[in-house]
């Protein structure tokens, strides 16, 4: 089983979506574990349930209007202390400050009880009934500074019955939420292990370097520097080749000493690829929950410099 993402669930109340996320995480093939439950209300009933399920819980004192920023600094510290990769908001009733949202950009999701973009904010079921709609549902979306407006990752529809009240409708939508949330979180987290997704990210970084173009090497996506008549590979994708259990990218390093040093100091990140290793290619594992893409970009640039034709280097390179 590859490393699981460490998810924090933030709640303010009952925590039934939190429970759905916890129970789904018990499946063998679930790509995440709930590594923390916290929130803005130390008395939230969901916290007790999480404790009973042996999930780590931290109670942070509820923020007053004045110390909102102190609350979010404390929260950020708790998330870092628990090595959290990803946040799922589940009935967390606080407006998030922009810097907190930026810190967790594309690593924080929310569930909302309507088919967004319809009925943002509170009282969604009242609004749906008042509009006479026949279908409503739930949405999981990325969190951005604007309320309930980030990229939609998944939705589920729920029929509105003619005798529904806001309460009966909420009850059924909640059942749908419990199915949707763990499913969408798992699918989103799994993409970071997907060869195609990883390759697209590497391609973007590799092709941002000067005089580069894509070319396959023995069937693997790769990138060269130079012209069609005089060029060299500086990056090649690796997909579980030769029994190596990882997806990654191979880049040139300065020699065997540097490779040994990299692998020894960060064995979770670097590996020596079979066949390529003796010619100073080092592998960077990329199917991990938390890849530092700036670091990958630096390694690609260094590899580029090691193989780029002299003319490009003399021209100032990058
Ligand atoms: C859910 O309806 C969710 O969509 C909304 O808040 C409610 C939380 O319920 N954001 P619970 O605490 O998960 O039971």
How much is the pLDDT for 66?
79
Q: What pLDDT does 288 receive?
A: 87
> Measured from the CB, is residue 288 less than 6 Å from ligand 1?
no
Answer yes or no: is the C-beta of 111 below 6 A from any ligand 1 atom.
yes
Catalytic: which of 82, 112, 119, 242? Answer: 112
pLDDT at residue 44, rounded to an integer: 97
| 261 in active site | no
Spatial strand order of the sheet with 135-142 comes to 32-39, 5-11, 86-89, 108-112, 135-142, 152-159
pTM recorded for the entire structure? 0.82
Q: What is the pLDDT of residue 245?
A: 67
How many CB atoms sit inside 10 A of residue 206's CB?
28
pLDDT value of residue 309: 86
pLDDT computed for residue 193 by the predictor: 86
Q: Is the CB of 90 under 6 A from ligand 1?
A: yes
Contacting residues for 54 by C-beta, under 8 A, at least 6 apart:
none
Q: Is the CB of 15 under 6 A from ligand 1?
A: yes
Q: Which residue from 121, 297, 97 is spatially nearest to 212, judged by alpha carbons?
A: 297
pLDDT per residue, tens digit, the chain (318 aa), is: 568 999 999 999 999 999 999 999 999 999 999 999 999 999 999 999 999 999 999 999 888 877 888 999 999 999 999 999 999 999 999 999 999 999 999 999 999 999 999 999 999 999 999 999 999 999 999 999 999 999 999 999 999 999 999 999 999 999 999 999 999 999 999 998 899 999 999 999 999 999 999 999 999 999 999 987 889 999 999 997 665 568 999 999 999 999 999 999 999 999 999 899 999 999 999 998 889 999 999 999 999 999 998 877 776 655
Contact yes or no for 311/225 (Cβ under 8 A): no
CA of 13 to the centre of ligand 1 (A): 8
The ligand 1 atom nearest the CA atom of 138: 4
């Amino acid at each position: 089983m590859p490393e699981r993402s460490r998810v924090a669930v933030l709640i303010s109340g009952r925590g039934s979506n939190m429970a759905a996320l916890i129970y789904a995480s018990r499946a063998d093939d679930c790509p995440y574990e709930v590594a923390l439950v916290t929130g803005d209300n130390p008395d939230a009933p969901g916290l007790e349930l999480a404790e009973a399920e042996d999930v780590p819980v931290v109670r942070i004192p509820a923020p007053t209007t004045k110390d909102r920023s102190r609350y979010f600094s404390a929260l950020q510290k708790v998330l870092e202390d628990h090595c959290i990769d990803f946040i799922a908001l589940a009935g967390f009733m606080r407006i998030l400050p922009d810097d907190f949202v930026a810190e967790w950009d594309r690593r924080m999701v929310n569930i909302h009880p309507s088919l967004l973009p319809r009925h943002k904010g509170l009282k969604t079921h009242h609004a749906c009934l008042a509009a006479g709609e026949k279908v409503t549902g739930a949405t999981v979306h990325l969190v951005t500074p604007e309320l309930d407006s980030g990229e939609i990752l998944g939705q589920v529809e729920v029929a509105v019955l003619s005798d529904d009240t806001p309460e009966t409708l909420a009850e059924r939508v909640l059942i749908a939420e419990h199915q949707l949330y763990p499913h969408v979180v798992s699918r989103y987290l799994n993409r970071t292990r997907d060869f195609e997704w990883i390759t697209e990210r590497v391609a973007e970084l590799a092709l941002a370097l000067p005089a580069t173009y894509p070319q396959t090497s023995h069937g693997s996506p790769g990138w060269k520097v130079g012209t069609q008549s005089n060029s060299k590979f500086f990056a090649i994708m690796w997909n579980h080749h030769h029994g190596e259990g990882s997806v990654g990218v191979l880049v040139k390093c300065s020699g065997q000493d540097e490779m040994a040093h990299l692998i020894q100091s960060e064995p979770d990140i670097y590996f020596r690829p079979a066949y390529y290793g003796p010619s100073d290619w080092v592998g960077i594992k990329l199917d991990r929950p938390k890849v530092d893409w700036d670091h990958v970009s630096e390694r690609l640039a260094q590899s580029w410099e090691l193989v780029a034709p002299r003319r490009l280097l003399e021209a100032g390179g990058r």
